[in-house]
Amino acid sequence: MGLIVRDRIFINGEWVPSAGTEALEVTNSTTEEVMGTIPAGTAADVDAAVAAAKAAFPGWAATPAEERAKYCARIADGLAARMDEVATLVSQEVGMVKSLSKIIQAGLPYNSFNVIPQVVAEFPWEERSGNSLIVREPVGVVGAITPWNYPLHQIAAKVAYALAAGCTVVLKPSEIAPLNAFVLGDIIAEVGLPAGVFNLVSGTGAAVGEAIASHPDVDMVSFTGSTRAGKRVGELCMQRVAKVALELGGKSANVILPDADIPKAVRDGVGKAFLNSGQTCSALTRMVVPRERLAEVEQLAAQAADAMTPGDPFAEGSKLGPLVSQAQWDRVQGYINAGIDEGAKLVAGGTGKPDGLETGYFVKPTVLSEVTRGMRIAQEEIFGPVLSILPYDTEDEAVEIANDSDYGLAGGVWAGDQEHAVAVARRIRTGQVEVNGGAFNPNAPFGGYKQSGIGREYGRFGLEEFLEVKSLQL
């Protein structure tokens, strides 16, 4: 595949030139070569996109929800036809192994659009309470600012539900992994969504993100990314009292209780920590284990980590692709060094690149044990294939460790008895908890407690996020 040049942004139903003249380069995370370019959008582009979205809002909001859902279903069909293309692009941009990309990076966005007719049909748009008719109405123009790690999935989680709610959208995809978003723009153009309902302005957070978050005609911002950037978005929205939804960082704990199937729990836990090379906000990066089983867990975790063969995402046998960028690689190396310097025991992996993989942002799958609660690697989001093992002596201490975090996005509990596992899961203050390896449900509410964010995505809860509630007193 040659250089992919996307030299236009999508405003008011058309691909148009940016008001700016600069282009941003997109790097292939495996080859470290430039794979494409996109426009470096400007505040003027945001003004144009927001004006288009504002003008389109009354007509789109008045369109019956079933009709809006049909558009989403058509977009899903378009994504289904281009799944391999999307998976290939994201594997090149982000580094996820291609076989997983097809299921996750292409499959989940398809699901978000495809499930909309069902969500809309089941949703309680109106209800009675005493002498009041309670109605739900679209919030208005939505600014969607999305990250690079699950790029199209995070876009779809916002755009599909905002459109279904009757909102119009201005999207800023991550400039690090943006090419997949342009495929969605192509599909939306093909299905004939009314002009102005969806708009795409590529560019940096400093230029385009700030302009969206501070724009007086953007009624709501839905942001996914780092907690630091999320705080800035929230600050800009609060200055004009605009609604905001934030899905931010995580440092999720995986509590393994003494009566659990330890080998199964550890193998599963290493996989959950290293998914997408650890570039996952909900990754189970803290394994909390009984102290008397620590040596056994270390051995099992080392075996599981060593089996996660790093390599080209398109090569057979690769289990772990590269990180997204040099900056991310440097950051993760810093955390591995910090863990060792603070006294953690290196069980697998370590610093430097894996043998034979000098090109590409590859990291050795790393396990650090004897980690204590105060260490940086126990508190800060690393966003790489690095697992911290923290031992505990009592169940109460295990729960304390799990909750000893500024974050509260996800978690896991393993126990021999399901009811016991559920009881412990209820004590963990996070938005999601996997019980004995329970599968991710892309239609269940997703979002965090504490500094992991505000609001929920997916399913009925994802639709509610983009709605206002009005009481008509009769």
Interval 316-340: pLDDT, tens: 999 999 999 999 999 999 999 999 9
Q: Where are the domains of the chain?
A: 4-248+452-473, 253-442
Helix, strand, or coil here: 467? strand
34-39, strands of its sheet edge to edge = 4-5, 34-39, 23-27
**247 counts as catalytic:** yes
Q: Which two tokens stand for residue 448?
A: 């965090």
Q: Which residue out of 247, 298, 457, 465 is catalytically annotated?
A: 247
Q: Which residue out of 281, 298, 434, 465 is catalytically annotated?
A: 281
Q: 253-442 — its CATH code?
A: 3.40.309.10
Rg (CA), the chain: 22
Q: Residue 2 has what pLDDT?
A: 85
Backbone φ and ψ of 172, nearest 5°: -115, 105
Q: 10 Å Cβ neighbour count for 309?
A: 13
CA 229 to chain centre: 14
Q: Residue 465 has what pLDDT?
A: 98
Point out the residues of the chain with pLDDT beneath 50: none
**237 counts as catalytic:** no
What span, in angstroms and rounded, lies between the C-alpha atoms of 138 and 167? 5
Q: 10 Å Cβ neighbour count for 241?
A: 7
Q: Residue 1 has what pLDDT?
A: 64
Helix, strand, or coil here: 340? helix
Given a contact cutoff of 8 angstroms between Cβ atoms, the answer to whether 90 and 151 are in contact is yes
Given a contact cutoff of 8 angstroms between Cβ atoms, the answer to whether 412 and 254 are in contact is yes
Taking all residues of the chain, what is their mean pLDDT, rounded to a whole number?
A: 97
CATH architecture of 4-248+452-473: 3-Layer(aba) Sandwich (3.40)
User: DSSP of 26-91, one letter per residue?
Assistant: EE-TTT-SEEEEEE---HHHHHHHHHHHHHHHHHHHHS-HHHHHHHHHHHHHHHHHTHHHHHHHHH
